[in-house]
Amino acid sequence: MKDANSPHAAHEHQRDSFGSSFGVLVALAGSAVGLGNLWRFPYLVGENGGAAFILIYLGFVLLVGVPIMMSEFIIGRRSQANARGAFKKLAPGSLWYVSGTLAVLCCLLILSFYSVVGGWGIEYLFKAFRFDFTRAGDSAGLSTLFSDFASSTWRPLVCHTVFLLLSGLIVILGVKNGIEKFSKVMMPVLFLIIIVIAIRSLTLPGAGAGIDYLFHPDWSKVTANTYLAALGQAFFSLSLGSGMVITYGSYVSKKENITAISAKTAAADTLFALIAGCAIMPAVFAFGISPGEGPGLVFITLPHIFSQLPLGGFIAILFFVALLLAALTSSISLLEVIAAFCIEEFKMKRFWAVMLTLFVLWVLGCLCSLSQGVLADWKIFGRNFFDLFDFLSANVLMLLGGLVAVVFVGWKLGRTVIHDELTNSGALKIPVWLLDTLLFLIRFLAPAAIAVIAIFQWV
Ligand code: TRP
């Protein structure tokens, strides 16, 4: 542990931290709320039959997601170190830290394709400003507009580069002056925009069918795959299993209430996903479009709707501003995991750590972007780069990271440490039943759920 009065303190790296409770919440919620909510969640709901998927998803968030988030939080705050350093500090001389290294790799893979999609968001914001959607005409025209763009070589690369530079700029400014400040302003803006769009969508004639779809479960559509998709989405949307909560948690003061922040973050993320659902589904139904359009939903179906909607041009701009903000507050969290790792493990300066990370990401991202076009035939294990990175992170590394986090906290650190962290060494009260329930979820239910899902998808 560092001692501020020691003669070495001046030479040691001074750790950044969050400045306020609200700052911690918006930063965590900012990481959680992202393309996962605006792009992935609506199309998964559409493909998996609506309300039943949402209910299963809610169950996973509460019973598996929150316990994993709290476990990662405990690891981060107790160690006050980056994703790898955390395990080294808490379990010196053991191999747990390998999981931290994998978490950093996971963030690298996610951000490679995430920044490509973020770049698409930039392009679509421009298109919205130029009213391109109205000009492209029907959904066939919009589908061509999207595939022509995504499969072209240069434009997506330029957008991807701009997106990375924007994220880099914020992270270079640091945790308190960059990430926290940006999230404090942008998260309220983001919620406001999505609420405005939801109101517009809900007041369309014929919106009722969309609401029905979102809130009346049709259990006949549920298969084993629905559960897989729901748990995968809970991991992705809450940014779990990838060292993010460990890293952000390490910047949180010992006075904050881990249980409350975790619950609020999960609630904000879920609420946002539901409002996004209310913004998208009623419009989809009002225009008689099938909800199961897959990943093209946001870039093809929605522009189609915008082109016909009264005030659609304006709503399109608002929507893509929201998409871009949501993507940025998440990408900075992914970038911070890697930057913190470079800063602390290799004693790099923040500026150079971010620059190096950006460069590696840029190269990997170029591969992902080009895999939609000229490199479409370059396949590893039958997948192009984009799909491979998505698969490796979401289906392998994140699950593994989440599993290690709960097992480490539940079995290695144990009840006393958990109690100590959740009560801030006795300063807060936590009812015994809640502690027991959490302990059960962390030790048994979460690991079992992850194991079952992993086995199901690999065999
Ligand atoms: N949760 C974000 C979203 O919903 C994506 C994200 C940010 C993420 N940080 C992460 C995903 C870390 C996994 C791991 O879009």
Report how far residue 225's alpha carbon sits from residue 236's, in angstroms, rounded to the nearest whole number: 16
Of 330, 302, 362, the residue nearest 133 (C-alpha)? 302
- 138, with CB counted inside 10 A (0-12, 13-18, 19+), is exposed
What's the pLDDT tens digit per position in 67-91? 999 999 999 999 999 999 999 999 9
Report how far residue 282's alpha carbon sits from residue 211's, in angstroms, rounded to the nearest whole number: 6
Residue 292 burial (CB count, 10 A): 15
Position 409 pLDDT exceeds 80: yes
How many helices and strands (H and E) does the chain possess? Answer: 23, 0
Residue nearest atom 14 in ligand 1 by C-alpha distance: 239
Residue of 105, 112, 236, 298 with the most ligand 1 atoms within 8 Å of its CB, for mutation: 236
Q: What is the distance in A from the centroid of ligand 1 to the CA of 116? A: 14
| Cβ pair 268, 91 in contact under 8 A | no
Could you tell me which residues are beta bridge partners of residue 296?
A: none
Report how far residue 205's alpha carbon sits from residue 218's, in angstroms, rounded to the nearest whole number: 23
pTM of the full predicted structure? Answer: 0.93
pLDDT band at 9 (very low <50, low <70, confident <90, very high): very low
Report how far residue 51's alpha carbon sits from residue 218's, in angstroms, rounded to the nearest whole number: 7
Average pLDDT over residues 100-116: 97
Read off the DSSP letter of residue 295: G
Of 335, 257, 267, the residue nearest 77 (C-alpha)? 257
Q: Residues enclosing ligand 1, CB less than 6 A?
A: 31-32, 34-37, 110, 236-237, 239, 242, 244, 330, 333-334
What's the pLDDT tens digit per position in 236-266? 999 999 999 999 999 999 999 999 999 999 9
Residue 152 burial (CB count, 10 A): 15
Position 172 pLDDT exceeds 50: yes
Of 299, 262, 334, the residue nearest 42 (C-alpha)? 299
Q: What is the distance in A from the centroid of ligand 1 to the CA of 93? A: 31
Q: What is the pLDDT of residue 5?
A: 43
Structure tokens that stand for 157 in this block = 């690369």
| Cβ pair 49, 226 in contact under 8 A | yes
What's the pLDDT tens digit per position in 319-365? 999 999 999 999 999 999 999 999 999 999 999 999 999 999 999 99
